[in-house]
Amino acid sequence: MGSPGAGKGTLAVELAARGVEHLSTGDLFRAEIERKTPLGGRIKTALDRGELAPDELTLGLMRKWFWGRPAGRGFVLDGFPRTLIQARCFDEWLEARNEVLSACVFLELGEEATVKRLSGRRICPWDGRVYHIEHRPPAIEETCDDCGGSLVRREDDAETVVRRRYRLYLKKSRPVAKYYRDQGLLRFYDADRRPAEIVSDLLSAYQPTPTIS
Ligand SMILES: [Zn+2]
């Protein structure tokens, strides 16, 4: 878990590199939208409105993934569960297969830091490369290193939108965080820590079994 820009994706990729399967609901949704399935159409409508994908659609996609994988193999989920209903449902699936979660990782980033991170973000519309005017600037200002295209700022990275997304995230994620806290699974990390550091901390605490050979 973590607010927009906290680095959930980066952390998940870093974990996946150690041999744990990585699944991002954002990627699942995008794939479904690109395949132009009826489900994808409904997800797109919700996301375009700035809403979360409805529970039944998210659960439908996740159920397919969950029951299609071999039991007992480790994984890291990015973007799921986002609501209490999803979290409860997920627990039922896990229980049915005698699997348990090791941790719910929450990346903490304050509102001002979030604004700074996201409003400095620039994207190449041609190849999707992501830059940051402070942390990862292109060689030539506002120009993609790879293709020379002009960089753009995503509309939802504008400051007022970032603040709205941030507050919405905190409000919506609170019940889910509480749900995992009550189970003793919630672990907070400062989002400013390097992902590799967080990963080694997590791995030493949980020693998950590598799953991908
Ligand atoms: Zn480019």
Q: Are 10 and 135 a contacting pair, CB within 8 Å?
A: no
Structure tokens at 138: 């292109």
Spatial distance between the Cα atoms of 77 and 66, rounded to a whole number of angstroms: 11
Confidence tier at 184 by pLDDT (50, 70, 90): very high
Cα(26) to ligand 1 centroid in Å equals: 22
Summarize pLDDT for 145-173 with one digit per residue, the tens.
999 999 999 887 888 888 988 998 888 89
Summarize pLDDT for 90-138 with one digit per residue, the tens.
999 999 999 999 999 999 999 999 999 888 999 999 988 989 998 899 9
Q: What is the per-residue pLDDT for 2? A: 92
Q: What is the per-residue pLDDT for 123? A: 92
Confidence tier at 15 by pLDDT (50, 70, 90): confident
What 3-state class would DSSP assign to 58? helix
Question: How far is the CA of 166 from the CAs of 54, 115, 179, in angstroms?
Answer: 20, 9, 20
Burial grade of 74 (CB within 10 A; 0-12, 13-18, 19 or more): middle
191-82-208 Cα angle (round to 5): 60
User: What does pLDDT average to over the chain?
Assistant: 89
- Backbone φ and ψ for 14, nearest 5 degrees, come out as -65, -40
Spatial distance between the Cα atoms of 119 and 36, rounded to a whole number of angstroms: 31
pTM higher than 0.85, yes or no? no
For the chain, the farthest-separated pair of C-alpha atoms sits apart, in whole angstroms, at 54
Report the candidate in 43, 47, 49 with the shortest Cα–Cα distance to residue 62.
Answer: 43
Domains in the chain with CATH codes: 8-109+169-206 (3.40.50.300)
Q: What is the per-residue pLDDT for 209? A: 52
Cα(74) to ligand 1 centroid in Å equals: 35
Residue with tokens 């030539």: 140
Cα(34) to ligand 1 centroid in Å equals: 21
Is pLDDT above 80 for 66? yes
Q: What is the per-residue pLDDT for 207? A: 63
185-188-193 Cα angle (round to 5): 140
Cα(151) to ligand 1 centroid in Å equals: 8
Summarize pLDDT for 26-49 with one digit per residue, the tens.
889 989 999 999 989 998 888 777
DSSP lists the bridge partners of residue 131 as 122
Strand residue runs (E) in the chain? 21-24, 75-78, 104-108, 121-123, 130-132, 186-190
The residues annotated as belonging to the active site are 8, 82, 121, 154, 165
Cα(123) to ligand 1 centroid in Å equals: 8
Task: Specify the DSSP element, H or E, that contains 182.
Answer: helix 159-182
